Amino acid sequence: MIIIDRILDMQALMRRCRREGKTIGFVPTMGYLHEGHAALIDRAREENDVVVVSIFVNPLQFGPNEDFARYPRDFARDRRIAEQHGADVLFHPEAGEMYPGPLTVQAVVKARTDVLCGRSRPGHFDGVATVLIKLFNIVMPDRAYFGRKDAQQVAVVDGLIRDFNFPIELVPVPTVREADGLAKSSRNVYLSPQERREAPALYQALQAAAAAVEGGERSAAAIRRLVREQIEAHTNAEIDYVDVCSYPDLAPLAVLEGTVIIAIAVRFASARLIDNLILELPKAPRQEE
């Protein structure tokens, strides 16, 4: 596995790969890799000639009171995991390499951000979009791999690729979970032992919602209420949001139909956790005028 920390070196290697007719799969990460990231790398390995993993904790996507400084970092561990799962190139730039001076142009995401995490994290997805534009131009991938746990991010990336005509296939990969259902996350290390015992209740609440939908419930308000009650009954976490939206356009719904996301975010003492389920439902019949 090759490790590169300079943009020009990365671009030169990628141009050579493209001249040789090789397909490039890209897994952008902020590091502290876990089984969820490994699943992305595995999928990229199956589908491409060259697999690139980036590790860059992007300061633009953290708010002033968020955890940029203490975000977990362990490059030696990340390097080992990436190599074990078949990555060919590890791109690991410093912040000064990615942002050598003040930006003269920065992306502003206009849609799909006023709900879910975007509502309480203003500017977050602008930072995500800006760094991804840079990374896509540096790596020049054929396919980019993202986990569905961050479903709003996947929706924003979908719009980014379409709007800017990147010749990239977006490949969403299902959420990887612990044995008790908790979604894998780098921030899980922040949980206290008691919080870790409570955290599986998030997925259990989503499963209860899915069961209610399977039983015929179509009221978004009823589903939101059910999920809130489940989380409040089994955790001491503060609920940030419980939302029911269409997907991927993330429009709020009153009645569940079509592709629907049930998404949650909660705050424990030192960790904010997110999770979601995406359901495919028949469209409701339209009344004749």
pLDDT along the chain (289 residues), means of 10: 98 98 97 94 98 95 80 93 98 97 92 82 90 98 96 95 97 95 91 96 98 97 98 96 95 95 95 95 67
**CATH superfamily membership of 2-173:** HUPs (3.40.50.620)
Four-residue CA torsion sign, 161, 162, 163, 166: positive
Rounded to whole angstroms, the Cα distance separating 128 from 58 reads 8
30 marked as part of a ligand binding site: yes
Residue 252 forms beta bridges with which residues? 245
Give the single-character DSSP code of 283. Answer: P
- Note the pLDDT of residue 158: 96
Residue 228 host element (H or E): helix 220-234
pTM for this entry: 0.90
CB 262 within 8 A of CB 277: yes
Domain at 186-277, CATH class: alpha beta
- Note the pLDDT of residue 123: 84
Rounded to whole angstroms, the Cα distance separating 53 from 147 reads 14
Residue 265 forms beta bridges with which residues? 241, 274
So where are the chain's domains? 2-173, 186-277
- Note the pLDDT of residue 251: 93
- Note the pLDDT of residue 115: 78
Within 10 A of 135 (CB to CB), how many other CB atoms are there? Answer: 23
DSSP H helical segments within 20-163, as ranges? 35-47, 75-84, 95-98, 116-120, 124-139, 151-163
- Note the pLDDT of residue 289: 47
The token pair that represents 19 in the structure block: 């001249």
Please state, in angstroms and as integers, the Cα–Cα distance from residue 247 to each residue in 153, 164, 180, 233, following that order. 12, 20, 26, 28
Rounded to whole angstroms, the Cα distance separating 183 from 202 reads 9
What's the number of CA atoms in the CB half-sphere (13 Å) around residue 19? 6
148 marked as part of a ligand binding site: yes
Rounded to whole angstroms, the Cα distance separating 162 from 151 reads 17
110 marked as part of a ligand binding site: no
Of 37, 85, 92, 124, which residue is the catalytic one? 37
176 marked as part of a ligand binding site: yes
Closest CA to 248 of 221, 274, 280: 280
- The question of whether 92 is a catalytic residue gets the answer no
Rounded to whole angstroms, the Cα distance separating 182 from 27 reads 22
Q: What are phi and psi of 139, to 5 degrees?
A: -85, -30
241 marked as part of a ligand binding site: no
CATH topology agreement for domains 2-173 and 186-277? no
Within 10 A of 45 (CB to CB), how many other CB atoms are there? Answer: 17
Residue 245 host element (H or E): strand 238-246
* List of residues 6+ apart from 262 with CB closer than 8 A: 206, 209, 210, 223, 227, 242, 243, 244, 276, 277, 279
